[in-house]
Amino acid sequence: MLKRFFGPTTRRTRMLVGLLLASLFFVLYTTQAGHANRPGEDFATVVHGRPVGKTSESALEKIEKLAKTDQIALLELCLANYRNHYTDFTCTFIKQERINGKMLPKQVVDVAVRQQPHSVAMSWRTVDEDGNALKMPRADRALYVEGMWDNQMLVRPTSGLLQALTGGVVLRKPTDPDVLEATLRPISSFGLDRSLANLLDVYRQAKDAGDLTAQFAGYVKVGDRDAIVLKRLLPAKKDYLAATTIIYIDLQYLVPIMIEGYDWNDQKFCTYLFKDIQFNLDLPPERFTPKAIDMNNP
C-alpha cells in the first residue's frame, strides 16, 4: 500500500505533493514577510530590500488627515512604523549645510545603518551622479558603532599625508567641536529613526511653548518617490535651529526622505536627501568594521 501510494507514477501523489509544497511555500513566505498586508494591516513592509504589499487607501487618507491636523501624531506613527518594521538600511545620502555663515559643498555619501547596536558606516564619493568632481571634506570614511571604541567614531582623513601621519585612522568623539565644524549633526544622531525622533523633540518643545505652526504643503515627487510634505514654522528664538523646516515623508516607507531647513531671513541652510533606500538587508556586524569600508584598525 505504501509503495503504491508513494509510487512515482501515481497522479494523486503528484497532485498532493504539489499542493503540499505550494502550501509550505505560502506559509514560509508570508511568515518571512511579516504577514504583509494581512486583513487590518495598512502599510507596506520590506523583506530583504524588496517592498511587500502596499499602503492602503484608508492609511493614505489617515496620513493626509494627520498632516493637516496633527503632525506630531503623524511623526509618531512614522517612528512606530520604523521601529516595528525596519532593522537596517542602505542609501545614498546627499547633504549640503551652511555652518558659521558659509555654505559648504554638496556631499554624496554611501551609507549603511544598523539598528542594534546603532551602527553607521559612511563612505564619501569623489564624483556625483552626473560625473562631476566633488570637493571632498576632511574625512572620506567614518564609522560609528554604539558601545565600541569608547563610543568614539573612526575617521579616515582624506589627505594622503594625514593618513600616513595618523596610521590611516583617527578616533574622535562625535560631538567634538572640531567635528561639528564640518557637520550640523553628529554621526551618533544619524539615521531615519533618529531624524524622526529629533523632529518630534522640536515639534513637542515648540507646541509646549506655544510656538508651533504646522502646515500641510501637499504632495510632491522626490526623484521617483511619492511624498507628502509637512512644513514647520517657528519664531526666532535661540532654542530653535530653523525658522522653517520642510519634511518630505515617503508615502510607502513612512520615513523622511528629504528635509530642508531655512533661517529667519528665508535663506536655506541645510538639505538632506536619502536616495535609493533599501531596508531589511540583514546587514551583519562585519559590515560595520574598519575593514569593510577600507579603513585601518585604530
| 97 phi/psi in degrees, rounded to 5 | -135, 150
Cα–Cα distances in angstroms (integers) from residue 217 to residues 28, 61, 174, 195, 232, in the given order = 42, 15, 34, 20, 10
Residue 4 lies in a domain: no
Q: Same domain for 105 and 233?
A: yes
In this structure, the answer to whether residues 36 and 80 fall within a common structural domain is no
Q: Is 5 within a domain?
A: no
Please count the other Cβ atoms lying within 10 Å of the Cβ belonging to residue 254: 25
Taking only the tens place, the pLDDT of each residue in 112-128 is 999 999 999 999 999 99
Distance CA 16, CA 197 (A): 52
Asked whether residue 8 is domain-assigned, the answer is no
3-state secondary structure of 146: coil
Residue 120 domain boundaries = 52-293
Residues 25 and 148 in one domain: no
Count other Cβ atoms within 10 Å, centred on residue 277: 21
Residues 95 and 185 in one domain: yes
Same domain? 138 vs 234:
yes
Share of the chain above pLDDT 70, in %: 84
Quote the radius of gyration of the chain (alpha carbons, Å).
Answer: 24
Query: Cα angle at 264 between 261 and 267, to 5 degrees?
Result: 55
Instruction: Give yes or no for a contact between 272 and 251, defined as CB atoms under 8 angstroms apart.
Output: no
For 170-226, write each residue's pLDDT tens digit: 999 999 999 999 999 999 999 999 999 999 999 999 999 999 999 999 999 999 999
Q: CATH number, domain at 56?
A: 2.50.20.10
In the chain, the number of structural domains is 2
> Per-residue pLDDT tens for 222-260?
999 999 999 999 999 999 999 999 999 999 999 999 999
Contact present, 13 and 2 (Cβ < 8 Å)? no
Closest CA to 193 of 120, 98, 281, 268: 120
